[in-house]
Amino acid sequence: MNFKLPIARSDIHIHLTSEHIETLFGKDYKLTNIKDLTIPGQFACLETVAVVGPQGRIENVVVVGPARPYTQVEISRTNGLTLGVDAPLRLSGDIAGSPGIRIIGPAGELQLSEGLIIASRHIHMHDTDARKLGIKNGEQVSVRVPGPRGLIFNEVKIKSGPNEALEMHVDLDEGHAADIIDFQEVELII
């Protein structure tokens, strides 16, 4: 089967609860959508924060909206080295037992007790695409990236659902290793 899909690199970013938005930006603060993302309902915000670890700090970390039921910072392994933290490799939302981190915004700061992860490479896929391909939510597949530094990503997790749009996500480290250009096509290997 020759099934192609777009791939995008994901830089360090943060998802915030409504309570944490108010802590960092002020009471009754509303996030400013500057760019809709491919995944329906999600958007990059004008607002940024600083993420501070035991050995370093990363400024201008983009907030991704809307508010979520949990606060989570997604980093790459390189970001972890800068911050001096050893974050686990997890799917978004799987934050139980992950390390905490300090977040600084213009109106306040907070110390997370957990919520720092390196996001596992994954494919967002609408249920109709998954059914057509015979793939179930949570399964793992491989993906071939073409080009002079092309490679095969194994253990790519499927995130299917009725509100998903077809797109694979890797972090910047993985993207740089394969010279990925955002939204280029890659090939699913089933």
| 87, 119, 151 - which closes a domain | 119
Domain count of the chain?
2
Mean pLDDT (10-residue bins), the chain, 190 residues: 91 98 98 95 97 98 98 98 97 95 98 97 96 95 96 97 95 96 94
Closest CA to 133 of 23, 2, 28, 35: 2
Residues 72 and 165 in one domain: no
What is the pLDDT at residue 52?
A: 98
Do residues 114 and 160 both lie within one domain? no
| CB atoms inside a 10 Å sphere around CB 160 | 21
CA atoms lying within 13 Å on the CB side of residue 13: 19
What pLDDT score does 1 carry? 63
Name the residue range of residue 183's domain. Answer: 3-7+121-189
Residues 180 and 93 in one domain: no
- The residue among 119, 142, 164 that closes a domain is 119
Radius of gyration in angstroms for the set of CA atoms belonging to the chain, rounded to a whole number: 17
